[in-house]
Amino acid sequence: MKKVLASVVLAALPTTLLADVIVYGKANVALQHADENGDSKMELVSNSSRIGVKGSEDISEGLKAIYLFEYQTEVDDGDRNGRTFNQRNIYVGLQGKAGTIMGGMFDTPLKVVQEKVDVFNDLEGDLGAIFNGETRAKNIVQYVAPASIGPFSASVAYIASEDDEIDDGISASVGYSIDDVYFGVAMDQDVQAENVDMMRAVARITIQAVQLGALYERVDNGVDDGDGYLISALWNLNPAVALKAQYGKTDLKYDSEFETFAENNESISVGADYRLSSSTTLYGFYTKVESDLASVPVRDDDYVGVGIDFKF
Amino acid sequence: MSSLRVPVQFIVAVFLCSTGMVGAEESCRPAVDVADSLDVNATTDCDYKETGLNRVVHKLFAKDSAKPAPSDSLPVNPRLADRPLQSVSQIESLFVADASALAAARYELLQNISSQCPHEFRLTDERYSSQGKTIKIKLSYECVED
């Protein structure tokens, strides 16, 4: 099936681009028991399974075009909002010695600055369950500083609201990465919603077999402001087995269903990964998520499950 | 029906693990993880064209572009001057980031050259260029006929 999908996607590309095309993706499914506010069920869930193509094409000496097309597909039932494929990150841009300029729909610098700190990424314990700023922005234009600035990285993005009545957004980040240490800071202004500003600071350090991560976020929605933090740990017992745990707490989290900010959000997860190869991992996890709206609990959810993650 | 597949895969995997058939750790990150980082400067850690699905895709769609292009003229070793040469060509890898990936990339290049040269080949030049913390390899070679 993947070969068929890849063939369809690639058939749409000019033959001259195929030389540098990389097809990539992942299929991640979990069989889990969900207890959501007292309602229990067994479910098979697809966790951000996707397929994409990316590549580059030399234009002239020191200048090339870059592109990426990525679509999410639901491995469990093949349907999300009535569609088999849903757009994820997509961009096209130019890359030269002075840096990269790119436009499309993709994750903001503030979202990307989290790097590998979220050790339950794409699962129920994903930091997006309680944190703001996990924005895949539409109509975004971004400049990325070149690799020549060494261990530092920097990005700044402009997000057009395409509406005179709504302020355009700005997202920016800087990072520092060397050996097993990473630091990053980022800010959003009018990105998640108008008058919602936030900043995020991230640190990750790997000491032999143990990776430790921390994330701090501050949000100001124009009426209230609040803090949030997350700590994570991943311990590689051996090349095949890793144990991991993560805890996060935030004062405010925008709830798109109720179109307001949930309060006192908390998430805790523990789990284990069993790597069969660099591409295939079996995993198990337990996650608990809690949130209030005006002091009324709207999330008191528990999840326990096992799954498989195949990447290519 | 589909809900049964994960437990079956899980049981099979546990069996494989219990018999010691666990895959070795590999140096290259899966391409999806590199894409997920949206790091446009990390061109790639590895050359994915010769692995997994990409190997099939490139063989299906990029046969013509996979053929090495003739390079500038390079001096021919006099020892081999009496042996017929097919051509002098170049092949290069994508950028690689660490020592193990570098070795793997060079090995892949040599494998690719072997597939182009049915008998023997020799390297006529080996060049490296850097971009940030990454390195690109370019090998020039010539096929030698018996």
**Tens digit of each residue's pLDDT (9 = 90 or more) over B76-98:** 444 444 444 445 566 766 667 77
Q: Which of B2, B16, B22, B38 to mutate to test the interface with A (most CBs of A within 10 A)?
A: B38
Q: Is A306's CB within 8 Å of B58's CB?
A: no
Residues of A with Cβ-Cβ distance to B33 under 8 angstroms: 311
Interface check for B37 against chain A (CB to CB < 8 A): the answer is yes
Q: Could you identify the residue written with the tokens 């921390």? A: A214
The DSSP code for A10 is H
State how far the Cα of A145 lies from the Cα of A129, in Å rounded to an integer.
31
State how far the Cα of A212 lies from the Cα of A202, in Å rounded to an integer.
11
Whether A108 contacts A89, CB under 8 Å: no
Look up the CATH number of the domain holding residue A290: 2.40.160.10
Instruction: Answer whether residue A13 shows pLDDT above 80.
Output: no
B22: nearest CB among A102, A115, A276: A276
Instruction: Answer whether residue B16 shows pLDDT above 60.
Output: no
Mean pLDDT along residues A154-181: 95
Residues of A with Cβ-Cβ distance to B38 under 8 angstroms: 89, 106-107, 112
State how far the Cα of A274 lies from the Cα of A284, in Å rounded to an integer.
9
Residues of B with Cβ-Cβ distance to A25 under 8 angstroms: 32
A82 falls in which pLDDT band (50, 70, 90)?
confident
Higher per-residue confidence, A129 vs A13: A129
Mean pLDDT along residues A136-154: 95
A31: nearest CB among B3, B61, B133: B3
Instruction: Answer whether residue A69 shows pLDDT above 70.
Output: yes
Determine the structural domain holding residue A170 and report its residue range: 2-311
Instruction: Answer whether residue A80 shows pLDDT above 90.
Output: no
ipTM of the complex: 0.87
State how far the Cα of A28 lies from the Cα of B134, in Å rounded to an integer.
30
Q: What is the pLDDT of residue B52?
A: 73
Residues of B with Cβ-Cβ distance to A30 under 8 angstroms: 6
Where residue A179 falls (left for φ over 0; alpha for ψ -120 to 50; beta otherwise) is left
- Please give the share of chain A, as a percent, with pLDDT higher than 70: 94
The residue in chain A having the minimum alpha-carbon distance to the alpha carbon of residue B67 is A19
Higher per-residue confidence, B98 vs A77: A77
Which of A255, A202, A257 lies closest to A229 in space, CA to CA?
A202
B6: nearest CB among A6, A31, A278: A31
Across chain A, mean pLDDT equals 92
Q: Which two tokens stand for residue B6?
A: 């994960």
Of A72-81, A89-98, A275-284, B131-140, least confident by mean pLDDT is B131-140
Whether the full predicted model's pTM is greater than 0.80, yes or no, is no
Interface check for B112 against chain A (CB to CB < 8 A): the answer is no
Q: Count structural domains, chain A.
A: 1
Chain A and chain B share a number of CB contacts under 8 A equal to 134
State how far the Cα of B146 lies from the Cα of B144, in Å rounded to an integer.
7
Instruction: Answer whether residue B44 shows pLDDT above 70.
Output: no
Mean pLDDT along residues A228-240: 96
- The values of phi and psi at residue A76, to 5°, are -75, -45
Q: What is the pLDDT of residue B70?
A: 44
CA distance, residue B85 to nearest chain A CA (Å) = 27
CA distance, residue B9 to nearest chain A CA (Å) = 8
CA distance, residue A162 to nearest chain B CA (Å) = 24
Higher per-residue confidence, B118 vs A223: A223
Q: Is A30's CB within 8 Å of B57's CB?
A: no
Higher per-residue confidence, B97 vs A306: A306
